[in-house]
Protein backbone atom coordinates (compact mmCIF):
# COMPACT_ATOMS: atom_id res chain seq x y z
CA UNK A 1 0.00 0.00 0.00
CA UNK A 2 1.19 3.53 -0.71
CA UNK A 3 0.20 6.34 1.61
CA UNK A 4 -2.61 7.35 -0.81
CA UNK A 5 -4.20 3.90 -1.05
CA UNK A 6 -7.78 3.82 0.16
CA UNK A 7 -7.87 7.41 1.38
CA UNK A 8 -11.36 8.36 2.46
CA UNK A 9 -13.15 10.78 0.15
CA UNK A 10 -12.66 13.56 2.71
CA UNK A 11 -8.96 12.82 3.14
CA UNK A 12 -8.51 12.85 -0.63
CA UNK A 13 -10.43 16.10 -1.07
CA UNK A 14 -8.43 17.80 1.68
CA UNK A 15 -5.33 16.79 -0.24
CA UNK A 16 -6.84 18.51 -3.32
CA UNK A 17 -7.40 21.57 -1.11
CA UNK A 18 -3.75 21.60 0.00
CA UNK A 19 -2.28 20.80 -3.42
CA UNK A 20 -4.64 22.63 -5.77
CA UNK A 21 -6.55 25.11 -3.60
CA UNK A 22 -9.90 23.37 -4.16
CA UNK A 23 -12.41 25.32 -2.06
CA UNK A 24 -13.57 23.86 1.23
CA UNK A 25 -17.15 24.84 0.35
CA UNK A 26 -16.86 22.63 -2.73
CA UNK A 27 -15.47 19.81 -0.59
CA UNK A 28 -18.42 20.05 1.84
CA UNK A 29 -20.83 20.12 -1.09
CA UNK A 30 -19.20 17.05 -2.65
CA UNK A 31 -19.49 15.22 0.66
CA UNK A 32 -23.21 16.03 0.65
CA UNK A 33 -23.51 14.79 -2.95
CA UNK A 34 -21.65 11.61 -1.93
CA UNK A 35 -24.22 11.14 0.84
CA UNK A 36 -27.05 11.58 -1.68
CA UNK A 37 -25.42 8.93 -3.91
CA UNK A 38 -24.96 6.44 -1.04
CA UNK A 39 -28.60 6.91 -0.12
CA UNK A 40 -29.76 6.49 -3.74
CA UNK A 41 -27.64 3.35 -4.02
CA UNK A 42 -29.35 1.94 -0.93
CA UNK A 43 -32.81 2.88 -2.25
CA UNK A 44 -32.05 1.12 -5.57
CA UNK A 45 -30.81 -2.01 -3.84
CA UNK A 46 -34.01 -2.18 -1.75
CA UNK A 47 -36.26 -1.11 -4.67
CA UNK A 48 -37.65 -4.57 -5.38
CA UNK A 49 -38.89 -4.80 -1.78
CA UNK A 50 -40.20 -1.25 -1.66
CA UNK A 51 -41.96 -1.64 -5.01
CA UNK A 52 -40.15 1.40 -6.44
CA UNK A 53 -38.48 -0.07 -9.54
CA UNK A 54 -41.44 0.68 -11.78
CA UNK A 55 -43.06 3.71 -13.38
CA UNK A 56 -45.12 6.48 -11.80
CA UNK A 57 -48.13 7.95 -13.63
CA UNK A 58 -46.08 11.08 -14.42
CA UNK A 59 -43.88 12.12 -17.29
CA UNK A 60 -40.98 14.56 -16.91
CA UNK A 61 -40.30 17.66 -19.01
CA UNK A 62 -38.60 15.38 -21.58
CA UNK A 63 -41.85 13.51 -22.07
CA UNK A 64 -40.26 10.41 -20.50
CA UNK A 65 -42.15 8.28 -18.00
CA UNK A 66 -40.74 8.85 -14.53
CA UNK A 67 -39.80 5.84 -12.45
CA UNK A 68 -40.50 5.96 -8.72
CA UNK A 69 -36.74 5.88 -8.20
CA UNK A 70 -36.20 8.84 -10.58
CA UNK A 71 -38.32 10.89 -8.19
CA UNK A 72 -36.65 9.45 -5.06
CA UNK A 73 -33.17 10.13 -6.48
CA UNK A 74 -34.16 13.66 -7.47
CA UNK A 75 -35.45 14.31 -3.93
CA UNK A 76 -32.13 13.10 -2.48
CA UNK A 77 -30.12 15.45 -4.69
CA UNK A 78 -32.42 18.37 -3.85
CA UNK A 79 -32.17 17.64 -0.12
CA UNK A 80 -28.40 17.26 0.03
CA UNK A 81 -27.43 20.00 -2.43
CA UNK A 82 -29.51 22.63 -0.67
CA UNK A 83 -27.27 22.42 2.40
CA UNK A 84 -24.42 24.54 1.03
CA UNK A 85 -24.86 28.33 1.30
CA UNK A 86 -22.96 28.87 -1.96
CA UNK A 87 -25.45 26.88 -4.06
CA UNK A 88 -27.61 29.42 -5.89
CA UNK A 89 -29.54 27.10 -8.16
CA UNK A 90 -30.31 23.52 -9.09
CA UNK A 91 -31.04 22.18 -12.57
CA UNK A 92 -32.35 18.62 -12.82
CA UNK A 93 -33.39 16.33 -15.64
CA UNK A 94 -36.54 15.69 -13.62
CA UNK A 95 -37.56 19.36 -13.10
CA UNK A 96 -39.04 21.65 -15.74
CA UNK A 97 -37.31 24.83 -14.55
CA UNK A 98 -34.36 26.04 -12.49
CA UNK A 99 -34.84 25.84 -8.73
CA UNK A 100 -33.44 29.03 -7.20
CA UNK A 101 -32.25 28.63 -3.63
CA UNK A 102 -31.21 32.27 -3.08
CA UNK A 103 -32.71 35.68 -3.77
CA UNK A 104 -29.46 36.83 -5.35
CA UNK A 105 -26.79 34.87 -7.21
CA UNK A 106 -23.34 36.33 -6.47
CA UNK A 107 -19.94 35.73 -8.09
CA UNK A 108 -18.52 32.58 -6.48
CA UNK A 109 -21.95 30.96 -6.09
CA UNK A 110 -22.50 27.50 -7.50
CA UNK A 111 -25.03 26.21 -10.02
CA UNK A 112 -25.50 22.43 -9.84
CA UNK A 113 -26.80 20.47 -12.83
CA UNK A 114 -27.74 16.83 -12.30
CA UNK A 115 -29.33 13.77 -13.78
CA UNK A 116 -30.37 12.05 -10.54
CA UNK A 117 -30.87 8.60 -12.07
CA UNK A 118 -29.49 8.04 -15.55
CA UNK A 119 -30.38 4.86 -17.44
CA UNK A 120 -33.40 4.23 -15.22
CA UNK A 121 -35.06 2.05 -17.89
CA UNK A 122 -32.51 -0.55 -16.68
CA UNK A 123 -33.88 -0.62 -13.14
CA UNK A 124 -36.24 -3.61 -13.41
CA UNK A 125 -33.49 -5.51 -15.24
CA UNK A 126 -31.00 -5.12 -12.38
CA UNK A 127 -28.52 -3.56 -14.82
CA UNK A 128 -26.27 -0.66 -13.79
CA UNK A 129 -27.66 2.85 -13.48
CA UNK A 130 -26.03 6.04 -12.21
CA UNK A 131 -26.27 9.66 -11.10
CA UNK A 132 -24.43 12.45 -12.95
CA UNK A 133 -23.60 15.95 -11.67
CA UNK A 134 -21.88 19.11 -12.84
CA UNK A 135 -20.93 22.24 -10.87
CA UNK A 136 -20.32 25.70 -12.31
CA UNK A 137 -19.00 28.59 -10.20
CA UNK A 138 -20.40 31.96 -11.26
CA UNK A 139 -17.73 34.43 -12.33
CA UNK A 140 -20.15 37.37 -12.16
CA UNK A 141 -23.33 38.02 -10.19
CA UNK A 142 -26.49 37.21 -12.14
CA UNK A 143 -28.73 40.16 -12.85
CA UNK A 144 -31.85 38.06 -13.37
CA UNK A 145 -32.70 34.69 -11.89
CA UNK A 146 -34.12 33.09 -15.03
CA UNK A 147 -33.68 29.73 -16.77
CA UNK A 148 -31.57 31.54 -19.41
CA UNK A 149 -29.11 32.73 -16.74
CA UNK A 150 -27.78 29.20 -16.17
CA UNK A 151 -27.11 28.44 -19.86
CA UNK A 152 -23.35 28.36 -19.30
CA UNK A 153 -20.86 26.41 -21.50
CA UNK A 154 -19.34 23.23 -20.07
CA UNK A 155 -15.86 24.78 -20.18
CA UNK A 156 -16.91 26.77 -17.08
CA UNK A 157 -17.39 23.65 -14.94
CA UNK A 158 -15.20 23.50 -11.84
CA UNK A 159 -16.28 19.99 -10.94
CA UNK A 160 -18.14 17.03 -12.41
CA UNK A 161 -18.77 13.49 -11.35
CA UNK A 162 -20.97 10.48 -11.34
CA UNK A 163 -21.95 7.63 -9.11
CA UNK A 164 -22.37 4.21 -10.72
CA UNK A 165 -24.75 1.80 -9.01
CA UNK A 166 -23.37 -1.52 -10.25
CA UNK A 167 -22.06 -4.59 -8.46
CA UNK A 168 -20.42 -1.98 -6.22
CA UNK A 169 -21.18 1.73 -5.88
CA UNK A 170 -18.53 3.97 -7.43
CA UNK A 171 -18.03 7.71 -7.15
CA UNK A 172 -15.87 9.26 -9.86
CA UNK A 173 -14.97 12.94 -9.56
CA UNK A 174 -12.89 15.63 -11.22
CA UNK A 175 -12.21 19.11 -9.88
CA UNK A 176 -10.06 19.88 -12.93
CA UNK A 177 -6.97 18.08 -11.58
CA UNK A 178 -7.40 14.64 -13.11
CA UNK A 179 -10.05 12.00 -12.44
CA UNK A 180 -10.25 9.83 -9.36
CA UNK A 181 -12.53 6.89 -8.57
CA UNK A 182 -13.81 5.85 -5.16
CA UNK A 183 -15.74 2.77 -4.07
CA UNK A 184 -18.34 2.68 -1.31
CA UNK A 185 -17.14 0.35 1.43
CA UNK A 186 -20.52 -1.13 2.32
CA UNK A 187 -21.44 -0.67 5.95
CA UNK A 188 -18.81 2.02 6.59
CA UNK A 189 -20.59 5.08 5.20
CA UNK A 190 -17.35 5.89 3.36
CA UNK A 191 -16.19 6.15 -0.22
CA UNK A 192 -12.52 5.08 -0.38
CA UNK A 193 -10.03 5.94 -3.13
CA UNK A 194 -9.71 2.77 -5.21
CA UNK A 195 -9.01 4.06 -8.74
CA UNK A 196 -6.57 7.01 -8.55
CA UNK A 197 -5.68 8.98 -11.70
CA UNK A 198 -8.08 7.30 -14.12
CA UNK A 199 -7.00 7.73 -17.73
CA UNK A 200 -8.41 6.99 -21.17
CA UNK A 201 -5.86 5.49 -23.59
CA UNK A 202 -5.59 7.32 -26.94
CA UNK A 203 -6.23 4.13 -28.96
CA UNK A 204 -8.92 1.50 -28.56
CA UNK A 205 -10.67 -1.33 -30.38
CA UNK A 206 -14.04 -1.12 -28.64
CA UNK A 207 -17.02 1.06 -29.57
CA UNK A 208 -20.49 1.59 -28.08
CA UNK A 209 -23.46 2.70 -30.14
CA UNK A 210 -27.14 1.76 -30.32
CA UNK A 211 -26.90 -0.09 -33.64
CA UNK A 212 -30.69 -0.40 -33.93
CA UNK A 213 -30.63 3.23 -35.11
CA UNK A 214 -28.36 2.50 -38.06
CA UNK A 215 -30.93 3.51 -40.71
CA UNK A 216 -31.11 7.00 -39.17
CA UNK A 217 -27.34 7.61 -38.94
CA UNK A 218 -25.60 10.42 -40.79
CA UNK A 219 -23.04 9.25 -43.44
CA UNK A 220 -19.92 9.99 -41.31
CA UNK A 221 -21.26 7.76 -38.51
CA UNK A 222 -22.17 4.96 -40.94
CA UNK A 223 -18.69 5.19 -42.45
CA UNK A 224 -16.98 5.08 -39.05
CA UNK A 225 -18.95 2.05 -37.81
CA UNK A 226 -18.67 0.21 -41.15
CA UNK A 227 -14.90 0.63 -41.03
CA UNK A 228 -14.75 -0.70 -37.45
CA UNK A 229 -16.88 -3.71 -38.43
CA UNK A 230 -14.69 -4.45 -41.46
CA UNK A 231 -12.05 -5.68 -39.01
CA UNK A 232 -8.45 -6.61 -39.88
CA UNK A 233 -9.14 -6.58 -43.66
CA UNK A 234 -10.76 -3.14 -43.61
CA UNK A 235 -9.23 0.34 -43.52
CA UNK A 236 -8.74 0.22 -39.74
CA UNK A 237 -6.68 -2.95 -40.00
CA UNK A 238 -7.86 -4.37 -36.68
CA UNK A 239 -10.76 -6.17 -35.08
CA UNK A 240 -13.26 -4.11 -33.04
CA UNK A 241 -15.46 -5.25 -30.18
CA UNK A 242 -18.85 -3.69 -29.35
CA UNK A 243 -20.67 -2.99 -26.07
CA UNK A 244 -24.02 -1.29 -25.36
CA UNK A 245 -25.27 -1.15 -21.77
CA UNK A 246 -27.91 1.54 -22.50
CA UNK A 247 -26.65 3.34 -19.40
CA UNK A 248 -24.21 6.14 -20.18
CA UNK A 249 -22.67 6.12 -16.71
CA UNK A 250 -21.71 2.45 -17.12
CA UNK A 251 -20.34 3.11 -20.63
CA UNK A 252 -18.21 6.04 -19.45
CA UNK A 253 -16.96 4.02 -16.49
CA UNK A 254 -15.88 1.24 -18.85
CA UNK A 255 -14.07 3.77 -21.06
CA UNK A 256 -12.27 5.26 -18.03
CA UNK A 257 -11.23 1.74 -17.07
CA UNK A 258 -10.14 0.17 -20.37
CA UNK A 259 -10.66 2.78 -23.09
CA UNK A 260 -13.24 2.83 -25.87
CA UNK A 261 -15.54 5.20 -27.66
CA UNK A 262 -19.19 5.94 -26.82
CA UNK A 263 -21.50 7.53 -29.38
CA UNK A 264 -25.06 8.73 -29.27
CA UNK A 265 -25.00 10.75 -32.49
CA UNK A 266 -27.55 13.18 -33.79
CA UNK A 267 -29.43 11.25 -36.48
CA UNK A 268 -32.29 11.83 -38.89
CA UNK A 269 -34.86 10.71 -36.32
CA UNK A 270 -33.65 12.68 -33.29
CA UNK A 271 -32.25 15.68 -35.21
CA UNK A 272 -35.36 17.80 -34.62
CA UNK A 273 -34.62 17.56 -30.89
CA UNK A 274 -30.86 18.14 -31.44
CA UNK A 275 -29.90 14.57 -30.49
CA UNK A 276 -30.74 12.16 -27.68
CA UNK A 277 -28.64 12.97 -24.60
CA UNK A 278 -28.93 16.19 -22.65
CA UNK A 279 -26.12 18.76 -22.75
CA UNK A 280 -26.18 20.39 -19.32
CA UNK A 281 -26.42 17.38 -17.02
CA UNK A 282 -25.38 14.41 -19.19
CA UNK A 283 -22.85 15.20 -21.92
CA UNK A 284 -21.11 18.24 -20.35
CA UNK A 285 -20.14 16.56 -17.08
CA UNK A 286 -19.05 13.40 -18.91
CA UNK A 287 -17.08 15.52 -21.41
CA UNK A 288 -15.24 17.30 -18.58
CA UNK A 289 -14.42 13.96 -16.90
CA UNK A 290 -13.26 12.35 -20.15
CA UNK A 291 -11.04 15.35 -21.06
CA UNK A 292 -9.55 15.35 -17.56
CA UNK A 293 -8.70 11.68 -18.08
CA UNK A 294 -6.89 12.47 -21.35
CA UNK A 295 -9.73 11.55 -23.74
CA UNK A 296 -11.88 13.73 -25.98
CA UNK A 297 -15.58 14.60 -26.13
CA UNK A 298 -17.22 16.04 -29.21
CA UNK A 299 -20.61 16.83 -30.67
CA UNK A 300 -19.28 15.13 -33.80
CA UNK A 301 -18.41 18.54 -35.21
CA UNK A 302 -16.53 20.20 -32.35
CA UNK A 303 -15.58 20.20 -28.68
CA UNK A 304 -18.58 19.51 -26.42
CA UNK A 305 -17.37 21.87 -23.70
CA UNK A 306 -17.37 24.84 -26.10
CA UNK A 307 -21.07 24.56 -26.96
CA UNK A 308 -23.10 27.60 -25.88
CA UNK A 309 -26.30 26.10 -24.42
CA UNK A 310 -29.57 27.51 -25.70
CA UNK A 311 -32.05 25.55 -23.60
CA UNK A 312 -32.12 24.04 -20.11
CA UNK A 313 -32.98 20.56 -21.40
CA UNK A 314 -31.16 20.88 -24.72
CA UNK A 315 -30.23 17.62 -26.42
CA UNK A 316 -27.11 17.07 -28.47
CA UNK A 317 -25.13 14.44 -30.39
CA UNK A 318 -22.10 13.05 -28.57
CA UNK A 319 -18.99 11.04 -29.29
CA UNK A 320 -16.52 10.63 -26.44
CA UNK A 321 -13.64 8.48 -25.28
CA UNK A 322 -10.27 7.53 -26.76
CA UNK A 323 -8.90 10.58 -28.54
CA UNK A 324 -7.85 8.86 -31.79
CA UNK A 325 -11.39 7.59 -32.38
CA UNK A 326 -13.06 10.90 -31.52
CA UNK A 327 -10.66 12.71 -33.86
CA UNK A 328 -11.46 10.21 -36.64
CA UNK A 329 -15.23 10.67 -36.28
CA UNK A 330 -14.79 14.44 -36.27
CA UNK A 331 -12.61 14.24 -39.40
CA UNK A 332 -15.37 12.26 -41.19
CA UNK A 333 -17.86 14.97 -40.26
CA UNK A 334 -15.68 17.73 -41.64
O1 LIG B 1 -30.61 9.10 -20.32
C2 LIG B 1 -30.26 8.56 -21.42
C3 LIG B 1 -29.85 7.10 -21.51
O4 LIG B 1 -30.50 6.25 -20.61
C5 LIG B 1 -28.35 6.87 -21.42
O6 LIG B 1 -27.88 6.54 -20.15
C7 LIG B 1 -28.11 5.76 -22.40
O8 LIG B 1 -26.84 5.83 -22.99
C9 LIG B 1 -29.20 5.96 -23.42
O10 LIG B 1 -30.21 6.72 -22.82
C11 LIG B 1 -29.76 4.66 -23.90
O12 LIG B 1 -30.48 4.90 -25.04
P13 LIG B 1 -31.26 3.76 -25.87
O14 LIG B 1 -32.55 3.55 -25.12
O15 LIG B 1 -31.45 4.34 -27.20
O16 LIG B 1 -30.42 2.54 -25.87
MN1 LIG C 1 -30.27 10.43 -18.21
Domains, the chain, ordered by start: 9-197 (3.30.540.10), 206-333 (3.40.190.80)
Does the C-beta of 118 come closer than 6 Å to ligand 1? yes
The number of the ligand nearest the C-alpha atom of 245 reads: 1
pTM of the complete model beyond 0.75: yes
Q: Which residues of 94-116 are buried (b: 16+ CB within 10 A; e: fewer)?
A: bbeebebbeeebeeebbbbbbbb
Distance CA(226)–CA(195), nearest Å, equals 34
Pairing of strands 110-118, 87-92: parallel
Q: Is the CB of 119 under 6 A from ligand 1?
A: yes
Q: 155 and 305 in contact (C-beta within 8 Å)?
A: yes
CB of 248 shorter than 6 A to ligand 1: yes
Of 114, 172, 209, the closest CA to residue 293 belongs to 172
Please give the backbone phi and psi of residue 188, each rounded to the nearest 5 degrees, phi first. -100, -15
Measured in angstroms, how far is the CA atom of residue 128 from the centroid of ligand 2? 13
Whole-number pLDDT of residue 61? 80
At 87-133, the pLDDT tens digits run 999 999 999 999 999 999 999 999 999 999 999 999 999 999 999 99
Which ligand approaches the C-alpha of residue 267 most closely?
A: 1
- Is 269 close to ligand 1, i.e. is its CB under 6 Å away? no
Residues whose beta carbons lie less than 5 angstroms from ion ligand 2: 115, 118
CA of 150 to the centre of ligand 1 (A): 25
132 Cβ inside 6 Å of ligand 1: no
> Which ligand 1 atom lies nearest to the CA of residue 249?
6
**pLDDT score for 58:** 86
Return d(Cα 218, Cα 227) in angstroms, integer.
15
Binding positions are 93, 115, 117-121, 210, 282
Low-confidence ranges of the chain (pLDDT < 50): none
Rounded to 5 degrees, what are φ and ψ at 7? -60, 145
What's the CA-to-centroid distance between 108 and ligand 1, angstroms?
Answer: 34
Amino acid sequence: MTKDDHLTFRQFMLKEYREHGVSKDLIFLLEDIATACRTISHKIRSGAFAGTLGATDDTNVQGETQKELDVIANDQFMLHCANCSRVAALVSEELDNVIWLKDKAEAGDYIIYFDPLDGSSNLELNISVGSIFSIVELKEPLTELTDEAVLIPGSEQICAGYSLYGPSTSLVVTTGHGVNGFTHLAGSGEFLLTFPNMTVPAATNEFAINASRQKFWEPPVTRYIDECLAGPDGPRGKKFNMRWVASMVAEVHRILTRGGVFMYPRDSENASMGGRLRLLYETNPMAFIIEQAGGKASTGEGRMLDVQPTDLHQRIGVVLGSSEEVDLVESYHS
